[in-house]
Amino acid sequence: MEFNHLNANLKHTASKLPESVAYTFAGRDVTYAQFDRLVSNVSGALYDLGLRQGDGLAILLPNSDAFLLAYHGAFRLGMYCVPMNPLYTPNEILYMLKDSGAKAVVAPAQFAEMAGALNAMLPGLTLIAVGAEKVPQGILRFEDFIQHDSIENVSYQPHLSLDDTAVILYTSGTTGTPKGAMLTHQNLSSNAFTAGEFLGYSENDRVVTVLPIFHVFSLTVCLNTSVYKGAHMIILPRFSPLEVLSVIQDKKATIFAGVPTMYNFMMQAAGDTSYDLHSLRYCISGGAAMPVAVMEAFERRFDVQILEGYGLSEASPVTAFTPVDGRPRKVGSIGISVPLVEQKVFDENDQEVPVGEVGELVVRGPNVMKGYLNRPQESEAALRNGWLHTGDMARMDEDGYFYIVDRKKDMILVGGYNVYPREVEEVLFRIDGIVEVAVIGAPDDEYGEAVVAFIVRKDERLSEEAIREYCKENLAKYKQPSRYLFVTELPKNMTGKVLRRELRDRITANN
């Protein structure tokens, strides 16, 4: 099947639906025709900086119109983008800028303070500040880019290919330094097509875009798919549970995409207040496993269905989703393989395991990255035998539905027995009064590893003894936590994923 360059997707939608609203941000509606024109202005400004096809633009921005314009402005020149979390430390930012080879960076005004250090270490890097009234010499204002002459007034015509790198996304780097997954226009366009068709996006949809767009889940499901289908993005710069509930209600949003912690926080924040979310066709959950207890409670509370999916940066990211075509929904499953994507479950010798058995989930399709930047050996290992090895342990049932058991690296080995944290967490989530929970493995002299549960509780009257008794009734002895640690909150990254490494570090520091 033929797909378009991401720049062509925007141009096509702007031509087809010029007066449709592309996005709402900070109280302002922007049509697709206006969006397309602003992108051309930004592209013209980048051209005047001397940037050309094959150059990189780093984007260190929260959700905003500036993110969308910089992203598509770069594509119009044939450049690639490097989306980054603006909360990264200076050392993390410096590493990714150097590794990616980006020639310019778009960042909030406060990053101007880093300009001297960045120029000293990366001479020639251009810093473009968003939201600055005045900037020091050598730094450019993004707001001036928006008023620039359009790239259409320039004769430059890049020769675009679907195999060109569109985005370099850095993995979270839970072990070692982050790796840059190189995603092509083919990868991202095919996944936008897949998500749009499978989930039935249309120009009538209003998509709440509060998940960070620098993260691959939002990049595809909220941005790329909306542009491909001509949907209306309602962009929020940060997650506030009550604000999101109000926006869904007031703007009559039809699709909300979030991670499990968002659903949990929205439920807790709503309390007894009534919110009308019936405009939603469905909610989408990804980024981490959705606890069944949280899903069921949210659906009861707001009378809206949550569709769970699965993906990873290296696959652009969507590989599986709960079907919406009338086939049954199986709670706890990530659904079935989406169109154009093939999934299997392999053993350690890369042989397919029988239905129902646990192994590593592997993926292939037009959405799979071309490799890790500057990492040929790791690329070969991840893509060996033509399959992307996800590092997630999974099983498939007789109907082709997949179930994530846990991350391969998060598996706990207790006296030779495998314990999957998610299984223990699902049991703990069923206890009334537990708000959040994360289970990890800690070194143990006798059994090799022991199960430790970090718990956020609603009421301090919920005792360790009561939790321990519940686990005794619902978990095999080797799966039962040996320790229960009560905390006020769990450490998370900006997308809401629990940082298990930090929890392990706490255990190590206290031993």
Can you read off the two tokens belonging to residue 405? 């058991």
pLDDT of residue 291: 86
Distance CA 363, CA 316 (A): 12
Under 8 Å CB-to-CB from 287, ≥6 apart: which residues?
211, 215, 217, 259, 260, 495, 496, 497
Are residues 259 and 286 in contact, defined by beta-carbon separation less than 8 angstroms? yes
pLDDT of residue 480: 94
Least confident interval from 70-84, 260-274, 484-498: 484-498
What's the whole-number mean pLDDT along residues 362-376? 97
Distance CA 159, CA 172 (A): 33
User: What does the pLDDT look like over 90-110, one tens digit per residue?
Assistant: 888 999 999 999 999 999 998
**How many contiguous H segments (helices) and E segments (strands) does the chain have?**
16, 26
pLDDT of residue 209: 98
Q: Where are the domains of the chain?
A: 31-184, 186-407, 411-510
Same fold yes or no, 31-184 and 186-407: yes
Distance CA 511, CA 168 (A): 39
Give the chain's radius of gyration (CA, Å): 23
Least confident interval from 102-106, 138-142, 325-329, 347-351: 325-329
Please state, rounded to an integer, the average pLDDT across all residues of the chain. 93
CATH domain 31-184 topology: Rossmann fold (3.40.50)
Least confident interval from 150-164, 295-309, 383-397: 150-164
CATH for 411-510 is 3.30.300.30
pLDDT of residue 287: 81
What's the whole-number mean pLDDT along residues 377-386? 96
User: What does the pLDDT look like over 189-228, one tens digit per residue?
Assistant: 999 999 999 999 999 999 999 999 999 999 999 999 999 9
pLDDT of residue 68: 98
When pLDDT is cut at 50, 70 and 90, the band that residue 88 belongs to is confident
Asked if CATH classification 3.40.50.12780 holds for the domain at 186-407, the reply, yes or no, is yes
pTM score of the predicted model = 0.87
Within a 10 A sphere around the Cβ of 464, how many other Cβ atoms? Answer: 14
Least confident interval from 25-39, 164-178, 413-427: 164-178
What's the whole-number mean pLDDT along residues 308-315? 95
pLDDT of residue 166: 98
Can you read off the two tokens belonging to residue 387? 């399959």
Distance CA 74, CA 300 (A): 44
Are residues 96 and 58 in contact, defined by beta-carbon separation less than 8 angstroms? yes
Q: Is the pLDDT of residue 175 over 60?
A: no
pLDDT of residue 511: 65
Determine if the peptide bond prior to 317 is cis (ω within 30°).
Answer: yes
pLDDT of residue 304: 97
Are residues 464 and 421 in contact, defined by beta-carbon separation less than 8 angstroms? no
Are residues 317 and 220 in contact, defined by beta-carbon separation less than 8 angstroms? yes
pLDDT of residue 172: 62
What's the whole-number mean pLDDT along residues 460-475? 94
DSSP states of 423-487: HHHHHHHTSTTEEEEEEEEEEETTTEEEEEEEEEES-TTS-HHHHHHHHHHHS-GGGS-SEEEE-
What's the whole-number mean pLDDT along residues 422-445? 92
The residue behind tokens 């941005």 is 223
pLDDT of residue 147: 92
Q: Is 193 exposed, middle or buried (0-12, 13-18, 19+ CB in 10 A)?
A: buried
Distance CA 417, CA 333 (A): 24
Distance CA 220, CA 242 (A): 25
User: What does the pLDDT look like over 26-46, one tens digit per residue?
Assistant: 999 999 999 999 999 999 999
Under 8 Å CB-to-CB from 49, ≥6 apart: which residues?
104, 126, 140
Least confident interval from 203-217, 306-320, 378-392, 396-410: 396-410
Distance CA 8, CA 178 (A): 31
Nearest to residue 173, comparing CAs of 88, 69, 299? 88
Q: Is the pLDDT of residue 177 over 90?
A: no
The residue behind tokens 């190590």 is 508
pLDDT of residue 407: 78
Q: Is the pLDDT of residue 174 over 70?
A: no
